[in-house]
Amino acid sequence: MPNTKIPHATAKRLPIYYRYLHFLSDAGKKRVSSTELADAVKVDSATIRRDFSYFGALGKRGYGYDVNSLLSFFRKTLKQDKLTNVALIGVGNLGHALLNYNFHQSNNVRISAAFDINEDITGTIQSGVPIYHMNDMKEQLTVQQIKIVILTVPASVAQKVTNELVEVGIKGILNFTPMRITVPNTVRVQNVDLTNELQTLIYFLDKFGSHDTEA
Amino acid sequence: MPNTKIPHATAKRLPIYYRYLHFLSDAGKKRVSSTELADAVKVDSATIRRDFSYFGALGKRGYGYDVNSLLSFFRKTLKQDKLTNVALIGVGNLGHALLNYNFHQSNNVRISAAFDINEDITGTIQSGVPIYHMNDMKEQLTVQQIKIVILTVPASVAQKVTNELVEVGIKGILNFTPMRITVPNTVRVQNVDLTNELQTLIYFLDKFGSHDTEA
DNA sequence: AGGAATCTTTGAAAAAATTCACAAATTAAA
DNA sequence: TTTAATTTGTGAATTTTTTCAAAGATTCCT
């Protein structure tokens, strides 16, 4: 019974599987077992089989999974078969790094517009991406029909900017600010909090019995 | 019965609470209720109360939690009362941004050394941090007694570098590479995978019934 | 002071996620 | 062809996490 309801925890692992399948395919590998995958992506093999099973019977007993068919299945599932345009809001330290970060390569995502208030950079093109002034944000997002943004503005303006994003129909926000922004529940927020990650790491430290932790 | 065993899910939320308490304290607020906190950090109030209760009875019925005592309790718990030195391995795009990123401000963490193979920058000081050559990594990490690193090297060398880190007794790795690195279970790895975050966001998109997702 | 309102603490229930373990299917080897 | 070795798919058990709900403690208002 495919696709009925994919658990949240499973969904978050799909990109990890996807990437490794990509790697295997590039390496010319034809088949892969859940055990082999487990070793590479550090997820228990039973969990992997369970995850896959939510999408139906993707494997073959005694054989494993066919790399290429699994890959193309996940490519569709993750909507990697078409290019997604996103905008970058806030071209500071981190924003600038993300402009150069090669999302496109493995991801089929392109940053097609960036916004900032700094007039030294607005109007220019950085790493192939035009930088607009924040004043033009709502207009450009509408015209370019962008539905996903990466938010790298200062925490102090995060909510204010978010409200504008919601107004123009943004559906997904990758939030790099430390603020927990408020949005209507038609909008999805994914938080990436660098400070938190470090603090969590420090916290877990001498608590040994360690190993891996998902971001 | 405090401190016996803090659930993983709880531990990952502590930094979020900590930061907001900091904010409240700075704003001169004396007390806060779980409901109020819940609204700000987007975690259910019952979950917050449960989380706190693992550390003992930190609040007062009918009153709420005292901001400053809660703050100083968490400061100790998260070891934010003393400065933690970390190293940055790999000063590329992202690494450079992290050098400028103000971990220190809210975090009491300092990047005290950075490493790269690019001889144009080794030997220089960037954003106040000396950049050493990777050849000197093991020596410097040992001398400086660094136990935590931020790993921003290319995926292709992630495991190789990790092995060296393990050799010199690194205990925590904040892994920005897309590789799932292998470490002995005395070492903790926290993965931050930017591409994954975006893909997850895209995946969740039209699956509406949305809202927040932790990184 | 008395009573209503607030708010934590915490058992217990519910929900979600992981893991075990084995039958069923397939491949590989002898 | 028969046997041994793999390996999936999945009920069931377990573990983890979240949420409910009510008793107990305190504050606030009149």
Instruction: Tell whether the model's pLDDT for residue A201 goes beyond 50.
Output: yes
> Strand D: which residues 47-86 of A lie within 7 A (CB)?
49-50, 52-53, 57-65
Tell me the count of A-B CB pairs closer than 8 A.
Answer: 219
Query: 3-class DSSP state for residue B171?
Result: coil
The domain limits of chain A are: 8-77, 84-196
Residues of chain A found within 8 Å of residue B212, distances taken between Cβ atoms: 180, 188-189, 191
Residues of A in contact with B15 (CB under 8 A): 193, 195-196, 199-200, 203
Q: Is A212 helix (H, G, I), strand (E, B) or coil?
A: strand
Does strand D come within 7 Å of the CB of B62?
yes
Arithmetic mean of pLDDT over chain B: 92
Taking Cα atoms as reference points, which of A41, A29, B176 lies closest to residue A52? A41
- Of the pLDDT bands very low, low, confident and very high (cuts 50, 70, 90), residue A191 is very high
* pLDDT tier at A1, thresholds 50, 70, 90: very low
Report residue A106's pLDDT band, with 50, 70 and 90 as the boundaries.
Answer: confident
Cβ <8 Å between A174 and B211: no
How much is the average pLDDT of A104-131?
93
B5 confidence band (pLDDT: 50, 70, 90): confident
CA distance A51 to A40: 16
Percent of chain A at pLDDT > 90 equals 87
Check B40 against A180: CB less than 8 A apart.
yes
Residue A87's DSSP bridge partners are A113, A149
**Tens digits of residue pLDDT in B185-215:** 899 999 999 999 999 999 988 664 445 566 5
Q: Which nucleotide is nearest to B48 (CA to C1')?
A: D18
Give the C-alpha distances (Å, rounded to integers) separating B127 from A121, A133, B102.
21, 27, 11
pLDDT of amino acid B3: 46
Query: How many whole angstroms separate alpha carbon B215 and alpha carbon A82?
Result: 24
Arithmetic mean of pLDDT, B64-78: 96
Confidence of residue A103 (pLDDT cuts 50, 70, 90): confident
Instruction: Assign a CATH topology to domain A8-77.
Output: Arc Repressor Mutant, subunit A (1.10.10)
Closest CB to B107 among A18, A180, A198:
A198
pLDDT for residue B166 is more than 90: yes
Q: Give, in order, the Cα–Cα distances in Å from A164 to each of A120, A149, A160, A183.
A: 23, 12, 7, 11
The closest of B183, B142, B160, B152 to B88, measured between CA atoms, is B152
Contact B170, B187 (CB under 8 A): yes
Cα distance between residue B148 and residue B150, in whole Å: 7
Looking at residue A2, what is its pLDDT? 43
Where does the pLDDT of residue A215 fall: very low under 50, low under 70, confident under 90, or very high at 90 and above? Answer: low
- Block residue for tokens 């010319």: A28
Of A99, A127, A129, A132, give the one whose Cα is nearest residue A117.
A132
CA A61 / C1′ D6 distance in Å: 8
Give, as ranges, the nucleotides of chain C with any atom within 7 Å of a protein CB. Answer: 5-11, 16-21, 23-27
Nucleic strand C within 7 A of Cβ A191: no
Q: CATH code for B84-196?
A: 3.40.50.720
